[in-house]
Amino acid sequence: MNEIREILTKAVIGKGQKTFKIDVQLPQLPNLPDRTLGAFITNHQMNVRKIGDTIELSGNFDLHVWYTYHADTETKVGCTTVDYGSTVELQSTLRDHLLETDEITCEELIAPYASNVRVEEGFIVADTQFEIGIEVIGETKMRVAILGPVLEAPTQGLAHLDFDDLSEIDGAINENFLDATIEPFE
């Protein structure tokens, strides 16, 4: 006789991801830049929260750009903080609504990076890109089938041993337990 049992557990009940492409212009620098030598992004911080059935993602990072000035004879690093925010659509969910007890987590799938860093009309401009993944963790039910009766464990094995004498235990260890076969239920 097969029976169905329900198990209440926490699991990932929804997933989403968001790709950001942000054009960043550094504020006016004290020296007129000639060209850029490199760019790096640091201090990326993210925050995710749910408002009703909507997931809001926000954060910021620092963009550092190394540039030359005075006819390429001197260099400096310019820095700006970039803020961003957006709502995230869940692509796969187990239910239509978020509950108060659901937990939302986020992680960087692709870390922020700068590309096409250039000087335009006396300002440094960079294209930045990154991707963030979202998971919703909530309570859900699993149904499992009980296929047969649970049989009592055989009395063979360690049940008959006297545990005061440890040599009996050492002799009862099966070092080839990985090669053992499992007998099916009848």
41-94 per-position pLDDT tens digit: 999 999 999 888 889 999 999 999 999 999 999 999 999 999 999 999 888 777
171: enclosing H helix or E strand: helix 166-172
Dig out the tokens for 3 from the structure. 């029976």
The side-by-side arrangement of strands in the sheet containing 3-25 is 92-93, 3-25, 123-146, 103-120
Query: Tens digit of pLDDT per residue, the chain (186 long)?
Result: 567 888 888 988 889 999 999 999 999 888 899 999 999 999 999 999 988 888 999 999 999 999 999 999 999 999 999 999 999 988 877 777 888 888 999 999 999 999 999 999 989 999 999 999 999 998 888 888 877 665 555 555 555 555 566 666 666 666 766 665 655 555
Tell me how far apart the alpha carbons of residues 109 and 105 are, in angstroms, rounded to a whole number.
13
Matching residue, tokens 């692709």: 110
**pLDDT value of residue 140:** 86
**pLDDT value of residue 142:** 85
Dig out the tokens for 128 from the structure. 């930045």
Tell me how far apart the alpha carbons of residues 38 and 144 are, in angstroms, rounded to a whole number.
56
Give CA 152 to chain center in angstroms: 43
Tell me how far apart the alpha carbons of residues 79 and 87 are, in angstroms, rounded to a whole number.
27
**pLDDT value of residue 27:** 92
